[in-house]
């Protein structure tokens, strides 16, 4: 096995391509944006839409295994590729994660608790669901939402829901109940094609305006809570027949109980800390998994904090470079926009 195809050309694809190169693999990116961050470090790029069948066949012909860097890859594209090449993670992982209702039903079927929820397909259903949740909850698009986009929060019965269904596009929605959490955490786990599973230590996450701000390791949770997270990740990986790295996000309640928020069938922003604090990062772990190489055990050698550089935060890079025990990773993006992830820094504690 020599060449890896990566669908998606953003920063996650970029870091996967860099990890692949260290292990002597070639990478080809499928991405419609010319000179995308991933293509700047890969061996080649096919400039085409993610559902372009001719381009998908070209990718399959050129590669030995195919992966993806984001969960909104068309399921049909993954299924087409899987007819001739291994696709890791499998198309089933995309199908589950792309719809928030399907995802929660899947998690509940694995014995993993989530927030209560209602599927919403009309303004009338929204108003009925809000009544069930005492006027409170988070309304989200079922598909294609990320980094806080496609959401509306109802904090009390005084919040008027009139027009909310139409305001979010009159598309299938989900209303989730509030979870009285004390903190948020995530765990990064991997499964090899031989069924071997390895988990990294959980990270404690802080979000600002719906976008991850920092991930701190170790998280402020006890070993019992950590073990519950490991077991949940293991159950998810096994149920999906998964190969590769996955991110699983949780709310942590006051008693240490976990409520799963969502899964991400790919390398994950809250796992970037592994690049600085582990011998084998989540990106190399993913490459190892999909190419049949042995997995690392995920052990970390240092405590750390990872912080995203968002928008104009890129102007602070010189000061970050002057700090000791700090890794700076920039994504090759030329235009800084509000809310755009430009890079990240990780400092060892």
| Nearest alpha carbon to residue 88 among 6, 33, 162 | 6
pLDDT in tens, the chain (349 residues): 799 999 999 999 999 999 999 999 999 999 999 989 999 999 999 999 999 999 999 999 999 999 999 999 999 999 999 999 999 999 999 999 999 999 999 999 999 999 999 999 999 999 999 999 999 999 999 987 655 567 899 987 677 889 999 999 999 999 999 999 999 999 999 999 999 999 999 999 999 988 999 999 999 999 999 999 999 999 999 999 999 999 999 999 999 999 999 999 999 999 999 999 999 999 999 999 999 999 999 999 999 999 999 999 999 999 999 999 999 999 999 899 999 999 999 999 9
CA 116 to chain centre: 22
pLDDT digits (tens, 9 = 90+) for 138-193: 999 998 765 556 789 998 767 788 999 999 999 999 999 999 999 999 999 999 99
Instruction: Report the distance separating Cα 303 and Cα 282, nearest Å.
Output: 16
State the pairing for strand pair 26-30/44-46: parallel
**Other residues' Cβ atoms within 10 Å of the Cβ of residue 271:** 29
Q: Which domains does the chain have, with CATH numbers?
A: 3-87 (3.40.50.20), 116-176 (3.30.1490.20), 183-348 (3.30.470.20)
Buried b (16+ CB within 10 A) or exposed e, 36-65: bbbbebbbebbbbebebeebbebbbebbbb
- How far is residue 327 from each of residues 81, 92, 323, 344, 347, measured CA to CA in Å? 36, 35, 9, 8, 6
Is the separation of the CB atoms in 277 and 304 below 8 Å? yes
Longest CA–CA span in the chain (Å) reads 59
Residue 145's pLDDT is: 64
Q: Please give the Cα distance from 17 to 31 (Å, whole number).
A: 14
What phi and psi values does residue 66 have, to the nearest 5 degrees? -130, 140
Structure tokens at 57: 């066949």
What are the pLDDT digits (tens) for 32-59? 999 899 999 999 999 999 999 999 999 9
Kindly state the helix (H) or strand (E) to which residue 249 belongs, with its residue range. strand 244-252
**184 within 8 A of 204, measured Cβ to Cβ:** yes
For residue 218, what are its two tokens?
């170790």
Q: How many CB atoms lie within 10 A of CB 27?
A: 26
Token couple for 284: 């190399």
Instruction: Return the number of other C-beta atoms located less than 10 Å from residue 204's C-beta.
Output: 19
């Amino acid at each position: 096995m020599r060449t890896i195809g990566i669908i998606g050309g953003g920063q996650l694809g970029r870091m996967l391509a860099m990890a692949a190169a260290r292990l002597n693999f070639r990478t080809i990116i499928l991405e419609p944006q010319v000179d995308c961050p991933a293509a700047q470090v890969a061996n080649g790029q096919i400039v085409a839409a993610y559902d372009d069948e001719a381009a998908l066949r070209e990718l399959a012909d050129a590669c030995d295994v195919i992966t993806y860097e984001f969960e909104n890859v068309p399921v049909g594209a993954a299924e087409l590729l899987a007819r001739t090449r291994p696709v890791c993670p499998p198309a089933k992982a995309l199908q589950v994660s792309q719809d928030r209702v399907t995802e929660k039903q899947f998690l509940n079927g694995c014995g993993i608790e989530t927030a209560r929820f209602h599927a919403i397909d009309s303004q009338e259903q929204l108003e009925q669901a809000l009544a069930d949740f005492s006027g409170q909850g988070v309304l989200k698009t079922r598909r294609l939402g990320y980094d806080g986009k496609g959401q509306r929060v109802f904090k009390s019965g005084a919040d008027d829901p009139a027009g909310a269904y139409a305001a979010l596009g009159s598309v299938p929605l989900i209303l989730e109940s509030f979870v009285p959490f004390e903190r948020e955490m995530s765990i990064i786990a991997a499964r090899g094609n031989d069924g071997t599973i390895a988990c990294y230590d959980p990270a404690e996450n802080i979000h600002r305006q719906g976008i991850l701000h920092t991930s701190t390791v170790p998280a402020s949770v006890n070993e019992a809570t950590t073990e519950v997270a490991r077991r949940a990740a293991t159950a998810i990986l096994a149920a999906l027949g998964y190969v590769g790295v996955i991110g699983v996000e949780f709310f942590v309640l006051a008693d240490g109980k976990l409520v799963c928020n969502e899964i991400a069938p790919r390398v994950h922003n809250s796992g970037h800390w592994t690049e600085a604090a582990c011998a084998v990062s989540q990106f190399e772990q993913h490459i190892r998994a999909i190419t049949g190489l042995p997995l690392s055990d995920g052990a970390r050698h240092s405590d750390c904090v990872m912080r995203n550089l968002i928008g104009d935060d890129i102007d602070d890079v010189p000061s970050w470079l002057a700090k000791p025990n700090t890794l700076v990773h920039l994504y090759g993006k030329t235009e800084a926009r509000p809310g755009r992830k430009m890079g990240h820094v990780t400092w060892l504690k």
